[in-house]
Amino acid sequence: MPTKALVIEGGTVFTPFMRIDEGTVYIENGRIAKVGKRISGLSGAEIVDASGMTVVPGFMDTHVHGGSGYDVMDGTVEALRTIAAYHARFGTTSMVATTTTESLDRIIQAVRATRTVIEGGTGGAEVLGIHLEGPYINPERSGAQNLEHVRSPSLSEFKRILEESANRVRIVTLAPEIKGAVEFIAALKNSGVVLSAGHSNASYADMFSAIDAGITHITHVFNGMREFHHREPGIVGVALTCEELTVSMIADGVHLHPNVIELLFKAKGADNIILITDAIRAAGMSDGTYELGGLPVTVKSGICRLASGTLAGSTLTMNMAVKNIVDFLGIPLSDALKMASTNAAKMIGFADSKGSLEEGKDADIVILDEDFNVKKTIVKGRIIATN
């Protein structure tokens, strides 16, 4: 059913090409019909007054496990819809549901639920696909992934997961140095699946073999991987210097020191960094003990750790990731929006319909106040969250 025409007016509108003060966005049938300074002839539409606020493209989170007490691995439609509704309150209009290193049966259960939600909708953030984080990782860099289920890459297993998802797997994070990984990557190189290195102990040489095979992305750079060393730069050194690679980053000020974020920005630039939350079920909940991939996680002051002290995801929201980037780096909001929206859309193949405020694209829009608090979240022309 077509949505009612909607006009957002009076706010500062960010398009890929300019900042429009007191701008107008006209939405028709769930898509952006016009963007400009003043647009005439828009009678009959619902008016949203954004005066004094900022109108930006909806945020796209390509790495999110959970929120509001639920996890993707719960494997239920209720869990997915609750997660999507929670993150929509903080400006996420699109997300890629992220699994953890678990048994094949548990992964398939999660994939089936995600497929159902993709096909039927969430009422919150739109689920665009599935991100398999593991199980094909290096046990030496497992981080908060469950060692019990770490295994070597299996094309037959992956094809089963892909079939159950109806080809909705968008990203696979794996360690490219483990046995069978290069062959697995090469087999999927032209499949449309983004192949990402993560939870990895890869050397500098390993990484170039992986890039030749088809790796194009690095998952939560610096975290869950071999540390940089001046005689063996490893995966981090390649991530910083290789122009072919994009990287995702958890900008909560905990996973990465602001100075490291500055280094990353100077090395990669705004066009090659993607902001993610890596949020777990504890996001939006009080401090306490939670579960991630079968492992107990303690949350204190919003920081998630295993008993060993290892960081275990985050309670970050995308609007705060954007705020942190602007505050840490002192960069224009337009650069932060590339990292929060545009670059993710390009990476997972949705650049034609999402990631920026342009005519013809889905009306996925967020209205922010001066402190980056989300006032309204709009998905395909529907107001789905008001704060």
Q: Tell me the catalytic residues.
A: 278
CA–CA separation, 216 vs 41, rounded Å?
46
**What's the CA gap between 299 and 236, in Å, rounded?**
28
- DSSP classification of residue 4: P
351, 356, 359, 361: CA torsion to nearest 10: 50
Q: Are strands 303-305 and 31-36 parallel, antiparallel or unpaired?
A: unpaired
Residue 284's nearest CA partner among 137, 21, 97, 67 is: 67
CA dist., res. 74 & res. 247, Å (int): 28
Distance of alpha carbon 340 from alpha carbon 58, whole angstroms: 8
345, with CB counted inside 10 A (0-12, 13-18, 19+), is buried
33 close to 341: Cβ distance less than 8 angstroms:
no
H/E element, 104: helix 104-120
Q: Distance of CA 238 to CAs 82, 181, 184, 215, 267, Å?
A: 38, 18, 21, 12, 11
CA 180 from centre of chain: 27
Q: What whole-number distance in Å separates Cα of residue 323 and Cα of residue 336?
A: 8
CA-CA distance, 225 to 202, in Å (whole number)?
8
250 contacts 283 by C-beta, under 8 angstroms: no
CA distance 241 to 232: 14
For 189-287, where are the E strands, in sequence order? Answer: 194-197, 217-218, 246-250, 273-276
Using omega within 30 degrees of 0 as the cis cutoff, is the peptide bond preceding 233 cis? no
